[in-house]
């Protein structure tokens, strides 16, 4: 089978990139924007940085902000109604993964109304039409939802996060401006940055990885390892590096898949509302140890990209240890908790493991886990 690659039509990178949004809206002939953003971003004036650009250019817009972190089916369905009422012809998504994912689901349902129940979109959805054109503006440096063909919606009734994969949802334009991320507090910067590192590492070792995705993932690991500590300290170089590094990781993993760090993190988001990046960051080193035997020489490359010295002279076992140690060190340096003691309740382990087994990211894991393996992995962090 041929390898497929899907990326944005156009993307802008660097400080001040949001100024380009007005030209893109006008150049594409759009008349009204449906702005998807969450309530905190409105409150902190982050959304306003972009709506000011629209206003200055005389572009009309309407804001939709009923979006919670780990967005729900209800957030999407209310958004579909609001979009229909608005008379808009494009979506400007401003926010982290939650705002961008909600925007994608709304855009898909508007163009494919037979999926209005949302649940039928889980997995690889057989939609026929491209979603409403989306201009995506990330405000976190993590999910890379602006360049991925995925979105994640929580089914609150079933306590499940649904991973939806659909080429029709790729934003036509991504605007990756580090100034949109500079207001992130330390903890959010660390968590979302570790999400990006998880994408790069899981994408590099996933079953479907190949030369082109490897190129993106190795570069992303290198940029993120160099930039995340600085971003947490709010340096301009750190912010710029993370804006780019997370995007480059997204260019890769969106096209090849992930693994069980994500499968095990999703149920924690669904059941306990654990921030996605925190869940990933805690699980990553432990799952890396579990997967090591199925990764050939790849951990040697990861260790090198993480900046470990002398990797070429190490035995394979030493190089694998060094890769895991470098990830652990970065996680500790940016203040991520070491274990799941304050998050996971023992009585939920069976439910969590079954959800992880059913998750769309699980088949991509380099090693095929049993449900018992997953339970043991969670338990090792309690």
223: Cα separation from own chain's centroid: 17
Alpha carbons within 13 angstroms on the beta-carbon side of residue 184 total 32
* Contact status: 123 vs ligand NAD (CB under 6 A): no
Using CB positions, name the residue nearest to Fe ion: 195
| Rounded least distance, CB 53 to ligand NAD, Å | 16
Residue 181 binds what, of ligand NAD, Fe ion, none (CB under 5 to 8 Å, by partner type)?
A: ligand NAD
Which of ligand NAD, Fe ion, none does 69 bind, CB closer than 5 to 8 A by kind? Answer: ligand NAD
- Tell me the window of 21-29, 111-119, 126-134, 183-191 that interacts with ligand NAD (CB under 6 A): 183-191
Kindly tell me which of 184 and 292 has the beta carbon lying closer to ligand NAD.
184
Distance separating alpha carbons of residues 24 and 207, to the nearest angstrom: 37
Q: Rounded to an integer, what distance in angstroms lies between the CA atom of residue 174 and that of residue 139?
A: 12
CB 121 within 8 A of CB 108: yes
Told to check if 195 binds Fe ion by CB under 5 A, we report yes
Q: Among residues 59, 145, 242, 311, which is the contact residue for ligand NAD, using CB under 6 A?
A: 145
Q: How far is the CB of 274 from Fe ion (least distance, A)?
A: 12
Work out what residue 369 binds among ligand NAD, Fe ion, none; the CB cut-off runs from 5 to 8 Å by kind. Answer: none
Given 79, 95, 203, 238, the residue binding ligand NAD (CB under 6 A): 95
- CB–CB of 356/267 below 8 Å? yes
Smaller CB separation from ligand NAD, 11 or 99: 99
Q: Smaller CB distance to ligand NAD: residue 41 or 261?
A: 41
Rg from Cα positions in the chain: 20
Of residues 311 and 352, the one with the C-beta less far from Fe ion:
352
* Spatial CB neighbours of 349, under 8 Å, sequence gap ≥ 6: 375, 378, 379
Does 142 sit near ligand NAD (CB under 6 A)?
yes
User: Which does residue 139 touch among ligand NAD, Fe ion, none (CB within 5 to 8 A, set by kind)?
Assistant: ligand NAD
The answer to whether residues 231 and 189 touch, using CB atoms and an 8 Å cutoff, is yes
Per-residue mark of binding to ligand NAD, 3-32 (x: CB under 6 A):
------------------------------
Kind plus residue range of the DSSP H or E element containing 143: none
Q: How far apart are CA 229 and CA 334, in angstroms?
A: 6
CA 98 – CA 113 distance, rounded (Å)? 21
Residues 155 and 90: their CA atoms lie apart, in Å, by 26
Residues contributing to the site for Fe ion (CB under 5 A): 195
């Amino acid at each position: 089978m041929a390898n497929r690659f899907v990326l944005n039509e156009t993307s802008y990178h660097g400080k001040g990139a949001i100024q380009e949004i007005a030209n893109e809206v006008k150049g594409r002939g759009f008349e009204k924007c449906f702005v998807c953003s969450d309530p905190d971003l409105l409150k902190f004036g982050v959304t306003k940085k972009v709506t000011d650009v629209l206003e200055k250019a005389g572009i009309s817009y309407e804001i939709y902000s009923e979006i919670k972190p780990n967005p729900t089916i209800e957030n999407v369905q209310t958004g579909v109604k609001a979009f229909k009422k608005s008379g808009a012809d494009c979506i400007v998504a401003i926010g982290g993964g939650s705002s961008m994912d909600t925007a994608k689901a709304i855009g898909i349902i508007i163009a494919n109304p037979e999926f209005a129940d949302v649940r039928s979109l889980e997995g690889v959805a057989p939609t026929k039409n491209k979603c409403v054109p989306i201009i995506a503006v990330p405000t976190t440096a993590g999910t890379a939802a602006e360049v991925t063909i995925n979105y994640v919606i929580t089914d609150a009734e079933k306590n499940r996060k649904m991973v939806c994969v659909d080429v029709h949802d790729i934003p036509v334009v991504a605007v990756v401006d580090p100034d949109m991320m500079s207001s992130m507090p330390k903890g959010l910067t660390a968590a979302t940055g570790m999400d990006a590192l998880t994408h790069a590492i899981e994408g590099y070792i996933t079953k479907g990885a190949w030369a082109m995705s490897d190129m993106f993932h190795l570069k992303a690991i290198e940029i993120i390892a160099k930039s995340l500590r600085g971003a947490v300290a709010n340096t301009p170089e750190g912010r710029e590096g993370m804006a780019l590094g997370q995007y480059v990781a997204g260019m890769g993993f969106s096209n090849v898949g992930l693994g069980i760090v994500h499968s095990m993190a999703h149920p924690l988001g669904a059941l306990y509302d654990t921030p996605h990046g925190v869940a990933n960051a805690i699980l990553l080193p432990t799952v890396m140890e579990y997967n090591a035997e199925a990764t050939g020489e790849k951990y040697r490359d990861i260790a090198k990209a993480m900046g470990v010295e002398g990797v070429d002279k190490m035995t394979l076992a030493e190089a694998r240890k060094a890769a895991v140690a470098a990830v652990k060190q970065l996680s500790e340096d940016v203040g991520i908790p070491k274990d799941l003691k304050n998050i996971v309740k023992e009585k939920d382990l069976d439910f969590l493991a079954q959800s992880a087994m059913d998750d769309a990211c699980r088949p991509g894991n380099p090693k095929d886990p049993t449900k018992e393996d997953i339970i043991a992995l969670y338990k090792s962090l309690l």
